[in-house]
Amino acid sequence: MHLLEINNLSKSFKGLLANDKICMELKLGEARCIIGPNGAGKTTLISMISGHLFQSSGNISFNGKNIGNFDLVKRVRLGIGRKFQTPTLFDNLTVYENIELSVIRNKYDNLKKFFKIDETLKLIRLFDEKDVLANTLSHGQRQWLEIGLLIGNNVKLLLLDEPTAGMTTEETIATTKLINNLSGEKNLSIIVIEHDINFVRELGAQITVLHLGKIFAEGNYNNIENNRFVREIYLGAPDVVN
Amino acid sequence: MQNTLTKISGETKFEFLIFLALALIPLVFSGYILFILPQYMLFGLLAVSLSILWGFTGIVSFGQAGFFAIGAYAIGIVVKSNFLMNSAILGILLGIVFSAVVAGVVGYFLFSAKVKATYFVLATLALSIIIEQLAKSQKEITGGWNGLFVDRILINFGDLFEYSLFNDVPMYYFTLLLTIIAFVLIKFLISSNFGKILKGIRENEDRILALGYNTSIYKTLIFCVSGALAGFAGSIYGTHAGFVDPSLARVLFSTEVIVWVAIGGRNSIIGSFLGGILVASLANYLNSITPEYWQLIIGIVFIAVVILFKGGLAGGFEEIYYRLITKKYASARN
């Protein structure tokens, strides 16, 4: 059974079709990259899965349950967590307090809570910064902290909107490892929107290409790289000429 | 971690000293100060009721005086009708319950409709005016414009125990005891997971929602607690002052509460509490020496504190304290 099943999902904004009959499936522990030029409808798709937007038609099921009408909070409680395009954190709280706020929703006892916070801080490589205010972190660390909020929240499906934006090469590599670790060892399902093609290659996940609100192509990195039409719309036309 | 621990215990020590000082005052002073100080402690609690909303959750309310008035009228009406032996305790309980229910109902509808913060302020302003108008118009129950005289209450549990609050000293200790109980309960609430989530709402409501917390429920609950606390303070105020009238619910009084909390420090429970006591005392004193200009002076103090210290006097105190500590560390290192 698939963890996430999306069926003919469409979204229109006053006549503009942002997503057009998207169909997609995601297994438990699977990572998936969504790429596509600006305005392809990537963020809209993620927003419909997370519950920040409601679909115009079609349906979404998660863990066998039809969640098309569920609100944001209900979906989070089922296990769908989202990282926003610009990191959305509790800026005036410390890193520790940030993670704590996400962990306490699980209603653990004190010991278990402590371990969960500890484990999460180590996973996102911010253990040494735990007493630092979130607004003093570097841009890359802020991205990690927000991923940490999802891990602490015990989600099953992570929706990551441009997680490596503003990161150094080294940080990007660490993020790739983190995401592979989460999908491989922790068995979490992950959807990543990304523009950085190097990151997409390193991640080695299945890729879905969106173009003008439709699924344009699907496959692994080599398939996509060698797809002439994808190169045309996304990687740049000059390559095709050569 | 070490830092936060010492900081917390430092604040608790300070709070303990304040309440110890309040407990010792009747041994040293007598007369007017013993009469008026319990009233200011209740104003302090009223300030705390706003602080948990404004400072800890990020919701401003102009309706705190309304809840205070509900509490005061509750005890006034119950004591006057005198249909039960324990009318005093019943009056206080009803004061709490009524204001909590009003806050809960109003909060529920406003918050679950996702009303923006600015419109919420306007709604609380209207609530305050509605309560004032009800107090004026329901003459048979509230005494209308003329208000209601309330006797000092007699606390009794059957024949086992009886405690009259007619004199100032018993009233003083009764008020102080209840104030401490309310204060400690609020401190527990704020440091609990519930309190942490409130802080999260203040910091970033979108994020807290996206972590799976139903924020409208949390906001409704804290508004309910805030209303209950204001009503509780109001009910004791009713029996202490011996008189309740519609002006208690006026918007001007709610505004005063905001001034107390802004000066005392909205992010600090003890700061707001002291803000209530000190600013009300200052206002009383200034009013007696310069009746024409006292409001002007309070206004200048208000503006000065807001400009100088971001977190009111409590915030300023904390800032200076940390600066001193870092200086001490710096000189120790050299």
Judged by a CB distance cut-off of 8 A, whether residue B8 touches chain A is: no
Q: Which of B209, B211, B216 to mutate to test the interface with A (most CBs of A within 10 A)?
A: B211
pLDDT tier for residue B318 given thresholds of 50, 70 and 90: confident
pTM, entire model = 0.89
Burial of B239-270, coded b for 16+ CB within 10 Å and e otherwise, reads: bbbeebbbebbbbebbebbbbbbbbbbbbbbb
Query: Which amino acid, one-letter code, is at A153?
Result: N
Put simply, the answer to whether B203 touches A131 (Cβ < 8 Å) is: no
Res. B8: pLDDT tops 70: no
A85-128: pLDDT as tens digits: 888 999 999 999 999 999 999 989 999 999 999 999 999 999 99
Identify whether the C-beta of residue B249 lies closer than 8 Å to the C-beta of residue B66: yes
Exposed/middle/buried for residue B129 (C-beta within 10 Å: 0-12, 13-18, 19+): middle
Res. B3: pLDDT tops 60: no
Put simply, the answer to whether A89 touches B206 (Cβ < 8 Å) is: no
Q: What is the pLDDT of residue B332?
A: 62
pLDDT tier for residue B84 given thresholds of 50, 70 and 90: low
CA nearest to A86 within chain B: B207
Q: What is the pLDDT of residue A137?
A: 93
Q: Which of A77, A83, A103, A104 to mutate to test the interface with B (most CBs of B within 10 A)?
A: A104
How high does pLDDT run on average in chain B? 88
Q: Which of A46, A49, A72, A101 to mutate to test the interface with B (most CBs of B within 10 A)?
A: A101
Q: What is the pLDDT of residue B144?
A: 79
SS3 A85: coil
Chain A residues close to B205, C-beta within 8 Å: none
Put simply, the answer to whether A76 touches B211 (Cβ < 8 Å) is: yes
Helix (H) / strand (E) containing A219: strand A214-219
| A141 in any annotated domain | yes
> What domains sit in chain B, N to C, each tagged with a CATH number?
2-333 (1.10.3470)
CA nearest to A153 within chain B: B211
Put simply, the answer to whether B204 touches A149 (Cβ < 8 Å) is: no
Provide the sign of the torsion angle of the four alpha carbons B52, B55, B61, B64, taken in this order.
positive
Put simply, the answer to whether B193 touches A104 (Cβ < 8 Å) is: yes
CATH code of the domain covering residue A165: 3.40.50.300
Q: Residue A76 is nearest to which of B193, B204, B210, comparing CB atoms?
A: B210
Res. B1: pLDDT tops 60: no
Judged by a CB distance cut-off of 8 A, whether residue B1 touches chain A is: yes
CA nearest to A92 within chain B: B203
Tally of domains in chain A = 1
| A160 in any annotated domain | yes
Res. A189: pLDDT tops 60: yes
CA nearest to B203 within chain A: A90
The tokens describing B262, both together, are 């802004």
Distance CA B245, CA B150 (A): 11
SS3 B267: coil
Identify whether the C-beta of residue A189 lies closer than 8 Å to the C-beta of residue A26: yes
From residue B104, alpha-carbon distances to A93, B80, B95, B113, B225 in Å are 29, 27, 14, 14, 9
A31-56: pLDDT as tens digits: 999 998 888 899 999 999 999 999 99
Whole-complex ipTM: 0.87
Chain A residues close to B207, C-beta within 8 Å: 88-90, 149
The tokens describing A102, both together, are 């996400």
pLDDT tier for residue A241 given thresholds of 50, 70 and 90: very low
| A169 in any annotated domain | yes
B191-216: pLDDT as tens digits: 999 999 999 999 999 999 999 999 99
| A235 in any annotated domain | no
Put simply, the answer to whether B210 touches A104 (Cβ < 8 Å) is: no
| Mean pLDDT to the nearest integer, A18-30 | 92
| A95 in any annotated domain | yes
| A230 in any annotated domain | no
The DSSP bridge partners found for residue A157 are: A80, A189
Shortest Cα–Cα distance, A123 to chain B (Å): 19
Q: Residue A82 is nearest to which of B203, B204, B210, comparing CB atoms?
A: B210
Put simply, the answer to whether B197 touches A90 (Cβ < 8 Å) is: no
Put simply, the answer to whether B204 touches A100 (Cβ < 8 Å) is: no
Res. B7: pLDDT tops 70: no
% of chain A residues with pLDDT over 90: 65
Res. A237: pLDDT tops 60: no
Q: What is the pLDDT of residue A238?
A: 53
The upper half-sphere exposure of residue A200, i.e. CA atoms within 13 Å in the direction of its Cβ, equals 25
Put simply, the answer to whether B211 touches A105 (Cβ < 8 Å) is: yes
Judged by a CB distance cut-off of 8 A, whether residue B27 touches chain A is: no
Give residue for tokens 């999802």. A150
Selection from A228, A163, A195 nearest residue A38 by Cα: A195
| Mean pLDDT to the nearest integer, A125-138 | 93
| A226 in any annotated domain | no
B148-171: pLDDT as tens digits: 887 777 666 556 666 777 788 888
Poorest-pLDDT segment among A89-103, A133-147, B141-155, B263-277? B141-155
| Mean pLDDT to the nearest integer, B277-286 | 93
Res. B10: pLDDT tops 90: no
From residue B156, alpha-carbon distances to A172, B88, B160, B233 in Å are 71, 8, 8, 20
DSSP classification of residue A231: I
| A228 in any annotated domain | no
Chain B residues close to A100, C-beta within 8 Å: 196
Q: Residue A90 is nearest to which of B3, B4, B207, comparing CB atoms?
A: B207
Put simply, the answer to whether A101 touches B214 (Cβ < 8 Å) is: no
Chain B residues close to A147, C-beta within 8 Å: none
Q: What is the pLDDT of residue A63?
A: 92
CA nearest to A73 within chain B: B212
CA nearest to B193 within chain A: A104
Shortest Cα–Cα distance, A114 to chain B (Å): 13
pLDDT tier for residue B275 given thresholds of 50, 70 and 90: very high
Distance CA B306, CA A128 (A): 36
Range of the structural domain that residue A162 is part of: 4-219
